[in-house]
Amino acid sequence: MSPSASVHSAVEPAETPLTPESWGKLGMWIFLAGDAVGFGVLLASYGGMRATSADWPSPYAVLGINLTAAMTFLLICSSVTMVKALEWLGKGDRSKCRMFLFFTALGGAIFVSCQAYEWSKLIHEGLHINGNPWGASLFGTSFFLVTGFHGLHVTGGVIYLVSMIRYVTNRPAPAASYNAVEITGLYWHFVDLVWIMVFTFMYLI
């Protein structure tokens, strides 16, 4: 066995039964499952507190849903640009892939900016982490905790996407970066999926 072959086998010793084409994909899925438990616990405890509170404010009346509905739509659009990036890379077009990765990152950056604007507006209206003028103080606590946790994920995703543009640029063969871009997509779609849940539970219900 040549030295390079032994190094390769040390990196990927065998096929994984869950995701036969990539260990990295399995790693990302396991990370996402763990992260989903984190979000699940936050949302479940929110549900528990909300259901048993006598003076929980009506979220869509206090928070307003026009901006957040637009943000939801933006995140869905960014998921589409993400799958388009992977699709173009699969067809061997790296420049189109980079362009769609950039649009995805841009969508994420606009989302976080909208969230920053929404937070500052609500803080000025009196919504604080330890109290608010409309009712249960835990309303503000849970709102900032859950949307903040999600916002951090989006921020991390934007950094991840920008670094992937560089990753694709540095690898002339499109097949060399396909797997890594697919894994990035998993993370980004997960962030979108979580927002679907957050939007429903924190804003609409």
Partner 1 sequence: MAGAEHKHPNYMAIFWYLAILTVIEIAVIYAPLNKTTIVVLLCALALGKAVLVAMYFMHLRFETGTLGLVAITPLMIATLLVFLLLPDGFAVAKRTVGVKAAVSAPAKH
Residue identified by tokens 């409309």 is: 134
Residue identified by tokens 């637009």 is: 70
Angle at which helix 138-169 crosses helix 23-51, to 10 degrees, equals 170
Beta-carbon contacts of 36 under 8 Å, excluding residues fewer than 6 positions away, are 190, 194
**By C-beta, is 36 or 109 nearer to partner 1?**
36
**Residues 71-110: x/- map of binding to partner 1 (CB under 8 A)?**
-xx--xx-xx-xxx--x--x--------------------
CA 179 to chain CA mean position, Å: 19
**Residues 122-161: x/- map of binding to partner 1 (CB under 8 A)?**
----------------------------------------
Report in angstroms how near the CB of residue 138 gets to partner 1 at its nearest.
11
Burial of 64 (0-12, 13-18, 19+ CB in 10 A): middle
Q: Report yes or no: 97 and 85 within 8 Å, Cβ to Cβ.
A: yes
Q: Report yes or no: 126 and 132 within 8 Å, Cβ to Cβ.
A: yes
Report in angstroms how near the CB of residue 33 gets to partner 1 at its nearest.
5
State yes or no: residue 167 binds partner 1 (CB under 8 A).
no
Out of 116, 123, 159, 176, point to the residue binding partner 1 (CB under 8 A).
176
**By C-beta, is 162 or 180 nearer to partner 1?**
180
**5-44: contacts with partner 1 (CB under 8 A):** 17-22, 26, 29-30, 32-34, 36-37, 39-41, 43-44
Report in angstroms how near the CB of residue 102 gets to partner 1 at its nearest.
18
